[in-house]
C-alpha cells in the first residue's frame, strides 16, 4: 500500500479531442441546455403550485393511491428471473455527477416519479411530511413564508429529500442539528415483499429507521418522510471573516467559528460555512437569524443575493480578503440557496464567462442549467473525461481533523484554487 504521506507522481497529460469538446461545451450549454432547463424549471414550478392548491386531504389520498401502485408493482416481481429491484429513475436525472452504470444490472424497475408532493406542514408538531422527490427549493418556497424551515436545508434547489436521507445531507446548521437524516422523525417505507411500514427511532422498525440513512436506497422504497421543522426569521445576519495563513490556521479559524471563546451559548451561530480560496487564504462565514425590523435598521446593509445579476456567492464572499470583515443581511430563503445559481464553482467550468457582469445581467436569469440535462447532453466521451479528471467529493471528517484533510487534498489532488483559475475550491460546513 502506498504511503499516504508521499505525494502522487503524475505525468503531464497530452490534450486530445475530448479536451476541446469540454473547452467549447459552453456553446451547447447556452443554446440548448439553458433554454430547455428554463422550460423544465417553469413546468416543475407550475406543477408545484398546482399541488399546493390541493387540500392536504386530497394530497394524502393521492399519496396512498400511489403507494398501492408501488405495492402492486412489487408483487408482480418474480425473484427467480426479474433480478434485483431499483427505481425507474434514469441515471442521468440524478444531481450527482458520478457514473451510475450499476443500474444496468438491475432489471425490475419501480416508478416513483409521482412522489413529489408536500403532504402536510404540521405547525403544532413542527414536522413537515413530504414525499421523497420533494426538493429543497420546493419546500423552502412553502415553509419560509410561514417563518418555518427544515432544520437542515441543503443549498442546491434540486437536491431531494429522498436523496438526502438515503445518502447524506449536510449544511451550515449541522453543528446544531446533525446530518439531514438526523432531523427525520419517521419514514414510510415499502419493503421488497410489498409491506408498507412506518419506521421511527423507537418502534418495531427502529432498525430500519437507523439503517436507511447512508443505505443508498438498498433497504426499501422511501415513499414519505416526516422531518423536523424549526422557527426562523426573515433574514440571515451574515458575518464574513477573512483568514490568512496556512491550511492549519484556516482550519483552526473554522473551528473557532462554532463557539465564542468566552463560552457564551447565546453567541453560538445558527450557520457556519468556510471557503478556502488558496492554500493560504480563506473566508469564514457565521450567520444568525434576524428579523425584518433588525435588518432594515438604518446603517444595516441588505444584500438580495438571489437576484440573477448579482455576483456569484463564492466570489462575493471572496471580496472579504480585500475588504476585511464585514456584515450584511440576506433574505433567509436566498441565503439557503446561495450556491444554486452558480452550482457552487461548477458554473465556472461549464460557462467560463458565466460570472462576468454582462452575462449575468443578460442571461443570468437562465441559470442554473439543469444538472440532469448537462449529463444527458455530455455524451460518453465527455462523461468518461469528467469521471477520470474531475472530482466533486464530499468528505465528512471530525472537526479536529479538518486541517489534516485540507492538507491531504492539497497534497494529493491537482487542486485549482479559486483565486487562480476559478475552477475549484474547498468548501466545508459544520459536521
- The verdict on 86 and 191 lying in the same domain is yes
Within-domain flag for 10 = no
Residue-level pLDDT at 269: 94
pLDDT band at 83 (very low <50, low <70, confident <90, very high): confident
Within-domain flag for 18 = no
Helix, strand, coil percentages in the chain from 3-state DSSP, rounded to 5: 40, 20, 40
Within-domain flag for 385 = yes
Cβ atoms 317, 275 nearer than 8 A: yes
pLDDT (mean) for 88-102: 60
**Tens digits of residue pLDDT in 237-265:** 999 999 999 999 999 999 999 887 777 77
Residue-level pLDDT at 431: 42
- The verdict on 223 and 244 lying in the same domain is no
Question: pLDDT higher for 426 or 327?
Answer: 327
Question: pLDDT higher for 373 or 130?
Answer: 130
Residue-level pLDDT at 345: 84
Residue-level pLDDT at 266: 74
Within-domain flag for 76 = yes
Given phi > 0 = left and psi -120 to 50 = alpha, else beta, which region is 397?
A: beta
Residue-level pLDDT at 372: 84
d(CA 424, CA 79): 45
pLDDT band at 397 (very low <50, low <70, confident <90, very high): confident
Alpha carbon of 4 to those of 7, 202, 414: distances in Å? 7, 42, 15
Query: Mean pLDDT score of the chain, rounded to an integer?
Result: 86
d(CA 3, CA 6): 5
Pick from 194, 225, 202: nearest CA to 73 = 194
Q: What percent of the chain has pLDDT over 90?
A: 59
Q: If you write DSSP's letter for every residue of 164-210 in order, what string do you get?
A: HHHTT---TTHHHH-SGGGGEEEEEEE-TTS-EEEE-TTSTTHHHHH
Within-domain flag for 13 = no
Q: At residue 7, does pLDDT exceed 80?
A: no
Within-domain flag for 16 = no
- The verdict on 191 and 279 lying in the same domain is no
**Tens digits of residue pLDDT in 181-228:** 999 999 999 998 889 999 999 999 999 999 999 888 889 999 999 999
User: Roughly what angle, to the nearest 10 degrees, separates helices 402-412 and 247-256?
Assistant: 150
H-type helices in 263-303, by residue range? 292-295
**Tens digits of residue pLDDT in 14-31:** 667 787 788 888 999 999
- The verdict on 375 and 423 lying in the same domain is yes
Give a three-class secondary structure readout of 81-100.
CCCCEEECCCHHHCCCCCCC
Residue where one domain finishes, among candidates 204, 231, 258: 231
- All 3 cell numbers of residue 94? 440524478
Residue where one domain finishes, among candidates 202, 231, 260: 231
- The verdict on 108 and 143 lying in the same domain is yes
- The verdict on 257 and 171 lying in the same domain is no
pLDDT band at 130 (very low <50, low <70, confident <90, very high): very high
d(CA 379, CA 365): 26
Q: At residue 422, does pLDDT exceed 90?
A: no
- The verdict on 97 and 208 lying in the same domain is yes
Q: What percent of the chain has pLDDT over 70?
A: 88
Residue-level pLDDT at 100: 56
Q: At residue 421, does pLDDT exceed 50?
A: no
- The verdict on 332 and 368 lying in the same domain is yes
Alpha carbon of 423 to those of 318, 391, 417: distances in Å? 14, 11, 7
- The verdict on 205 and 250 lying in the same domain is no
- The verdict on 162 and 267 lying in the same domain is no
- All 3 cell numbers of residue 400? 479536529
Residue 130: domain span: 56-231
Within-domain flag for 174 = yes
Name 188's bridge partners.
Answer: 198, 224
Cβ atoms 420, 59 nearer than 8 A: no
Residue where one domain finishes, among candidates 196, 231, 266: 231
Alpha carbon of 48 to those of 114, 115, 117, 129, 335: distances in Å? 12, 12, 8, 15, 21
Residues 6 or more apart whose CB falls under 8 angstroms from that of 194 comprise: 71, 74, 75
The least confident of 72-86, 209-223, 414-428 is: 414-428
Cβ atoms 186, 199 nearer than 8 A: yes
Residue-level pLDDT at 93: 61
Residues 6 or more apart whose CB falls under 8 angstroms from that of 365 comprise: 308
pLDDT (mean) for 136-164: 94
pLDDT (mean) for 375-394: 79
Within-domain flag for 412 = yes
Number of domains in the chain: 2
- The verdict on 296 and 336 lying in the same domain is yes
Q: At residue 418, does pLDDT exceed 50?
A: no
CATH of the domain at 152: 3.30.465.10
**Tens digits of residue pLDDT in 152-171:** 999 889 899 999 999 878 88
Question: pLDDT higher for 164 or 78?
Answer: 164
d(CA 402, CA 421): 24
**What predicted TM-score, i.e. pTM, was given to this entire model?**
0.88
**Tens digits of residue pLDDT in 336-353:** 999 999 988 888 888 999
- The verdict on 272 and 364 lying in the same domain is yes
Amino acid at each position: 500500500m502506498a504511503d499516504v504521506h508521499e505525494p502522487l507522481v503524475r505525468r503531464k497529460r497530452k490534450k486530445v479531442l475530448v479536451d476541446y469538446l469540454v473547452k467549447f461545451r459552453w456553446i451547447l450549454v447556452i443554446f440548448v441546455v439553458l433554454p430547455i432547463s428554463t422550460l423544465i424549471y417553469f413546468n416543475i414550478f407550475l406543477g408545484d403550485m398546482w399541488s399546493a392548491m390541493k387540500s392536504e386531504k386530497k394530497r394524502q389520498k393521492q399519496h396512498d393511491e400511489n403507494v398501492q401502485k408501488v405495492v402492486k408493482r412489487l408483487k408482480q416481481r418474480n425473484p427467480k428471473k426479474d433480478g434485483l429491484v431499483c427505481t425507474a429513475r434514469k441515471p442521468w436525472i440524478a444531481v450527482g455527477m458520478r457514473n451510475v452504470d450499476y443500474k444496468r444490472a438491475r432489471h425490475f424497475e419501480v416508478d416513483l416519479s409521482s412522489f413529489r408532493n408536500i403532504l402536510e406542514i404540521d405547525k403544532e408538531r413542527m414536522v413537515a411530511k413530504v414525499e421523497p422527490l420533494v426538493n429543497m427549493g420546493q419546500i423552502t418556497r412553502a415553509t419560509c413564508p410561514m417563518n418555518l424551515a427544515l432544520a437542515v436545508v441543503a443549498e442546491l434547489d434540486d437536491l431531494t429529500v429522498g436523496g438526502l436521507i438515503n445518502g447524506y445531507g449536510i449544511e451550515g446548521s449541522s453543528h446544531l442539528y446533525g446530518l439531514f437524516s438526523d432531523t427525520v422523525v419517521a419514514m414510510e417505507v415499502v419493503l421488497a415483499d410489498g409491506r408498507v411500514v412506518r419506521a421511527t427511532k423507537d418502534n418495531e422498525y427502529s432498525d430500519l429507521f437507523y439503517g436507511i440513512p447512508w443505505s443508498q436506497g438498498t433497504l426499501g422504497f422511501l415513499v414519505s418522510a416526516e422531518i423536523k421543522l424549526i422557527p426562523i426569521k426573515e433574514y440571515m445576519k451574515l458575518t464574513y471573516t477573512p483568514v490568512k495563513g496556512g491550511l492549519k490556521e484556516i482550519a483552526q479559524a473554522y473551528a473557532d467559528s462554532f463557539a465564542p471563546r468566552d463560552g457564551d451559548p447565546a453567541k453560538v451561530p445558527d450557520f457556519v460555512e468556510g471557503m478556502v480560496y488558496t492554500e493560504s487564504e480563506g473566508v469564514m462565514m457565521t450567520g444568525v437569524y434576524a428579523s425584518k425590523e433588525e435588518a432594515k435598521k438604518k446603517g444595516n446593509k441588505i444584500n438580495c443575493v438571489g437576484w440573477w445579476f448579482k455576483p456569484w456567492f463564492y466570489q462575493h464572499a471572496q471580496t472579504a480578503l480585500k475588504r476585511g470583515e464585514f456584515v450584511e443581511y440576506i433574505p433567509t430563503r436566498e441565503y439557503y440557496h446561495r450556491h444554486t445559481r452558480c452550482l457552487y464553482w461548477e458554473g465556472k467550468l461549464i460557462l467560463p464567462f458565466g460570472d462576468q457582469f454582462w452575462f449575468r445581467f443578460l442571461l443570468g436569469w437562465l441559470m442554473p442549467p439543469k444538472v440532469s440535462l448537462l449529463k444527458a447532453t455530455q455524451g460518453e466521451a465527455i462523461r468518461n473525461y469528467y469521471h477520470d479528471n474531475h472530482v466533486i467529493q464530499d468528505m465528512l471528517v471530525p472537526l479536529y481533523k479538518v486541517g489534516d484533510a485540507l492538507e491531504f487534498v492539497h497534497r494529493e489532488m491537482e487542486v485549482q484554487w479559486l483565486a487562480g483559475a476559478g475552477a475549484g475550491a474547498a468548501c466545508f460546513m459544520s459536521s
